[in-house]
Structure 1
Amino acid sequence: MASPSTPPTAAGAGAGAERGLTIVIKLGTSSICDEKTFMPKLANLSLLVETVVRLRSLGHHVLLVSSGAVGVGLRRLGLPKRPKHLSQAQAVAAVGQGRLMALYDSLFSQFDVPIAQILLTRDNLAERAQYLNARHTLRELLHFNVVPIINENDSVCNAELRFGDNDTLSAITAGMVNADHLFLLTDVEALYTDNPRSNPDARPVRVVDDVQKLRQEEYPVTVTSPGSSLGTGGMVTKLIAAELATAVGCSVIISIGSKPDRILTIIDEIQKHKSGDPAAPFQPTMGTHFLAKPTPMVDRKWWILHGLATAGAIFIDSGAVRAITKEKSSLFAAGITRVEGSFNAQQSVQIMTVVEDTLPRGDKTQRVVEVAKGLVNYSSAEIQRIVGVKSSEIETLLGYRDSDYVIHRNNIAITQPPAGGVGAAETASASP
């Protein structure tokens, strides 16, 4: 996958560094400050900065997604724990964010490396133009050889517009810049078959080729442990991030935050494997590697899936499911059975269907399945009036016809693979 721009490779770059990689490193709060005293972990942060500097000397682009604003703010204000009220937590984050960036600037300045602060909310990415602006800004910063340091704008975002945790934000960042690798640095060395703190027999899982296998329990792993008292995530959020990033062609590695220099060894192992026998299995010695999908989703459809909050739902029949998933067709009013929620044209909606299952004793049961997400051409009130009708009847019922399609196929992103093993991913494209 091409990087947005490739800096000149420094003299003495390691073997196998044929081109500069784009690497996103996510650092959790527990790796930045102590959970009890909130004192910054200067040794750890210094080692991280040295690692980033070394990666840059090898010709790679690096972006940091950094938590820690609340923890640093608690230390500055002398508070004993994270506030429960949103407004108080936002105020603490506002105090901490400036001091956190000052700390990073002081450390990177020792190596004459410029940094930039990027604060995002999900609302910033909901509009396609803002999403593209954010992406262009990140790419230009990399072009100027700057290290972008990204965090959620905790001081202004509300609960409805939060990414929820920086694992998700780091995955979206990786997708925005077409990153090659996303490192999720946490307080454990890898994903384990059980909690290694309580079970000495827990074993690390080194390679995962499909996150869905973990959800379907094909891997013997436990992922229910929560995050730290300061953080908001845990292993579950890292699996979500891995699913998001691998879908867009970025490999994801879980590694231990107290040893960020391991990133150099992990990158070296990956490059040696790629330059070796392609049929040989990948056997890394560190971290857990989630392999990138071989056919990444196009950027626009990935944005529809992960950059937008849905405003309602459209239910479709089995014929429409088959048409949009197998035949890659647009969604017509004739295939719609009902509408839920209130939304306007060009907003994102869930495309749902009702599936009937037969129980062992022959009884029937129904379940609702999300098939896709998409951008509608008509409002919920308009779609209610044209449910189940032919496109030729739309003008008669509405008095106008802006489009024959309720959702054009270019604005449909499949989430549920169709029956029969037909894949849903689209081939990657450079177009916005």
Structure 2
Amino acid sequence: MTAARRVVVKVGSSSLTTAAGGIAPERLQSLVTALAAVRARGVEVVLVSSGAIAAGLAPLGLKRRPKGLAAQQAAASVGQGLLVAQYTAALAAYGVTTGQVLLTVDDVVRRSHYRNAHQTFAKLLELGVLPIVNENDTVATQEIRFGDNDRLAALVAHLVHADLLVLLSDVDGLYDGNPALPGTSLLTDVRSDADLAEVAIGSVGSAGVGTGGMVTKVEAARIATGAGIPVVLTSAPNAAAALAGDPIGTLFHATGRRRPTRLLWLRHATEGKGALLLDAGAVRAVLGRRASLLAAGVTGAEGTFHAGDPVDLVGPDGVAVARGLVNFDAEEIPRLAGRSSTELAAELGAEYEREVVHRDDLVLL
């Protein structure tokens, strides 16, 4: 941890705001002080901060996070500016310049967007800027309903080639049960999923202002550690101690190695917008040889999707075996299914000779 030269820190809504909405200045200032101390040691920092929707509640006269999507987006629109303004002012007192980065899934799943996101982060860090990242809640739909910033932080950590991910919560680590009940114990180290076998993981915090919970934090830890990035999970008041390398909270040890960030997003941050139905031979080719999916192995399609969308690859038994970025629209699939690339090129033109899903745009489920 002390050797990390680039760190991603994620803080949740409940750690920054009151239950009634609005930013708690003393909580934000405490976090900023910890981040500034890390920066003073020469460590690059990326902050993934929730709190936009929660920060917009009080100005809009809302007592709790609204359930309606339009109201959530309105709160995010009001709150995001307030949140970043406070971060900017607080960090400026330490001589740190901030930059806002709002992301959606497409920004990293699609090749051109991913390349641009990577270059933007690289340039911000090169210029000494501390990027403040959030999902683009004002315009996003799926992210607000299903996404969470824990998962976003794990994927950003991989995108920026971080050495460490620190998840700050309203509890001081991962317990083997409800930490409010007697007899539960803190897990100081998690080295594999086997260490989580007997752990009862809770859900959204009692404050009611966030979307995540311990489930999303453990999933984020799996994503990051599976890509070779260790994760520390602790409470926001322990941020300074965690970033200083003190043995605090729960340390999730790295279990895997780095792989293309787009594929992490495809596996963990998307849902199939439709399905391609495969014959048994195509399933074997995709699973066994990691081959591209050709039209000859496709028997049909379900749902509505367009070229470039993520789709699930489903075997004859109805089980999704992979997810990939499709190269054709759904309405084109019926005339391609079961036919060889040579036949399609001769009848429809050279552009139909390409793979239905290229192996570089495919992940196994």
Q: TM-score when scaled to structure 1? A: 0.76
> What's the counterpart of residue 333 of structure 1?
295
1:244 and 2:223 equivalent? yes
Classify the secondary structure of the residue corresponding to 1:349: strand
Give the conservation status (yes or no) of the 8 Å contact 1:246–1:292. Answer: yes
Letter in 2 for 1:344: H
SS of corresponding position for 1:319: helix
Deviation, structure 1 residue 159 = 4.0
Question: Structure 1 residues 140-149 or 286-295, which shifts more?
Answer: 286-295
Structure-2-length-normalised TM-score: 0.89
2:238 maps to which residue? Answer: 259
Q: Which has the larger radius of gyration?
A: 1
Equivalent residue for 1:410?
360
The one-letter code of the counterpart of 2:186 is P
Q: Distance in 2 between matches of 1:161 and 1:383?
A: 31
For 1:385, the equivalent position in structure 2 comes to: 335
Give the CA RMSD over aligned residues.
2.6
Matches within 5 A, 1:7-22: 17=3, 21-22=5-6
Q: 187, 194, 198: which one pairs with 1:220?
A: 198
Q: How big is each residue's C-alpha offset from its partner over 1:351-383, in whole Å with a ceiling of 9 and x where there is no partner?
A: 12245xxxxxxxxxxxx4322111223333333
Q: How does 1:60-209 map to 2 (within 5 A)?
A: 60-159=43-142, 164-197=147-180, 199-209=181-191
Could you tell me how far 1:313 is from its partner in structure 2?
Answer: 1.0
1:398 deviates by: 4.5
Q: Deviations over 1:57-105 (max 9, x none)?
A: 2221101111112222223344322233322232222222222222112
Structure 1 residues 208, 384: closer, same or farther in 2, change over 3 A? farther
Matched to 1:207, the amino acid is D
**Structure 2 regions of 5+ residues with no counterpart?**
none
In 2, the alpha carbon distance for the partners of 1:28 and 1:160 equals 15
Matches of 1:79 and 1:200 in 2, distance apart? 35
CA offset at residue 400 of structure 1?
5.4
Change in Cα spacing, 1:342 to 1:161, as seen in structure 2 (3 Å) is farther
1:402 and 1:336 mapped to 2: Cα distance? 14
Cα 1:206–1:338 change in 2 (3 A) is farther
**Does structure 1 residue 43 correspond to structure 2 residue 26?**
yes
CA 1:341–1:99: 2 relative to 1, 3 Å = same
Identical-pair percentage: 40
**Counterparts in 2 of 1:333 and 1:47: CA distance versus 1, 3 Å:** same
Q: What count of residue pairs does the alignment treat as equivalent?
A: 364
Q: SS where residue 315 of structure 1 aligns? A: strand
Q: In 2, Cα distance between the equivalents of 1:235 and 1:194? A: 11
Deviations 1:381-415 (A, max 9, x none): 33323333433333466465632532222222222
Tell me what 1:58 maps to.
41
* Structure 1 counterpart of 2:15, from 31, 44, 48: 31
- Residue 192 to residue 380, structure 1, CA distance change in 2 (3 Å): same
Q: 1:39 to 1:383 in 2, by over 3 A?
A: closer
> Which residue is equivalent to 2:252?
290
Contact conserved, 1:255 with 1:288, CA < 8 A, in 2?
Answer: yes
Which segments of 5 or more consecutive residues in structure 1 lack a partner in the other structure?
1-13, 270-284, 356-367, 416-432
1:145 to partner: Cα distance: 0.9
- Superposed CA deviations along residues 5-52 of structure 1, whole A, max 9, x for unmatched, are xxxxxxxxx9x64xx52111111111111214x453333322211211
1:323 to 285, 297, 307: 285
Distance 1:377 1:220, change over 3 A: same
Higher normalized helix content (fraction of residues): 2
Going from structure 1 to structure 2, the CA distance change for 1:48 and 1:95 (only over 3 Å counts) comes to same
Q: What is the deviation of 1:160?
A: 6.5
Contact (CA 8 Å) 1:352, 1:371: kept in 2 or not? Answer: yes
1:210 maps onto 2:192 in alignment: yes
